[in-house]
Amino acid sequence: MHVSIYAVQILTLRNIEKISKALSDINRLKILSAIQSSEERLECSTVISLLNISQPSVSHHIKKLVEAELIEPQKEGRFYYYSLNKKVMEQYLEALRKL
- pLDDT, tens only, 39-87: 889 999 999 999 999 999 999 999 999 999 999 999 999 999 999 999 9
Per-residue DSSP letters for 26-37?
Answer: HHHHHHHHHHHH
Bridge-based pairing state of the strands 79-84 and 42-43: antiparallel
Name, in order, each residue with C-beta under 8 angstroms of 87's C-beta and a sequence gap of 6 or more.
Answer: none
- pLDDT, tens only, 39-50: 889 999 999 999
Report all structural domains of the chain as residue ranges with CATH numbers, in order of start. Answer: 2-98 (1.10.10.10)
To the question of pTM greater than 0.75 for the whole model, the response is yes
